[in-house]
């Protein structure tokens, strides 16, 4: 494609220059707007990812506490019941290591309500008396039922 050459003395020169300048301005504005939208989108995705990673950390803590509670209650290690993890054909996605904040460490992840007298328990409970206890996880109540009742 050959470029058109218009001399500066041509009466259409100013009109063509104005049209070109307008096109360049529109193109630059569109590119700037697209860059800003991309940056906004990236920031939103990073924020969403951070929230998901924090939720994953909380869920892992809850899972570990439930494993401990299960082992204390039944005497059986949950990992022995499940066996080795099956090999996946999909590649593992490395999870970023996130240190829990002081604020999240002070908040209990797992709350257990028992029927024991709180004045004598001193925040300790007998794992053999957990039958019928209520476990509160993220606002959802679960009732512990012994293996012999299940």
Each residue's pLDDT, cut to its tens digit, for the chain (150 residues) gives 667 777 878 888 989 999 999 999 999 999 999 999 999 999 999 999 999 999 999 999 999 998 888 888 888 787 777 766 555 555 555 544 444 454 544 555 555 555 555 555 455 556 666 667 777 776 677 777 765 544
Give the C-alpha distances (Å, rounded to integers) separating 5 from 2, 15, 16.
Answer: 9, 14, 11
Are 127 and 72 spatial neighbours (Cβ–Cβ below 8 Å)? yes
Residue showing tokens 């259409």: 12
pLDDT at 47: 97
Q: Please name the residue ranges forming H helices in the chain.
A: 13-74, 78-82, 102-106, 118-121
pLDDT at 37: 97
3-state SS, residue 25: helix
In this structure, the chain runs to a length of 150
Residue showing tokens 């290690």: 77
Spatial separation of the C-alpha atoms in residues 145 and 132, rounded to whole Å: 6
């Amino acid at each position: 494609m050959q470029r058109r050459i218009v001399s500066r003395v041509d009466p259409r020169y100013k009109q063509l220059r104005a049209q070109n300048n307008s096109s360049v301005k529109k193109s630059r504005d569109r590119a700037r707007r697209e860059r800003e939208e991309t940056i906004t989108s990236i920031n939103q995705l990073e924020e969403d990812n951070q929230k998901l990673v924090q939720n994953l950390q909380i869920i892992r803590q809850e899972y570990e506490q439930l494993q401990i509670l299960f082992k204390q209650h039944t005497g059986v290690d949950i990992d022995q019941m499940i066996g080795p993890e099956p090999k996946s054909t999909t590649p593992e996605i490395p999870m970023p290591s996130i240190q829990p904040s002081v604020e999240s460490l002070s908040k209990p992840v797992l709350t257990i309500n028992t029927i024991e007298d709180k004045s004598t328990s001193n925040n300790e409970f007998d794992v053999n008396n957990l039958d019928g206890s209520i476990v509160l996880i993220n606002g959802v109540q679960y009732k512990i039922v012994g293996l012999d009742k299940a």
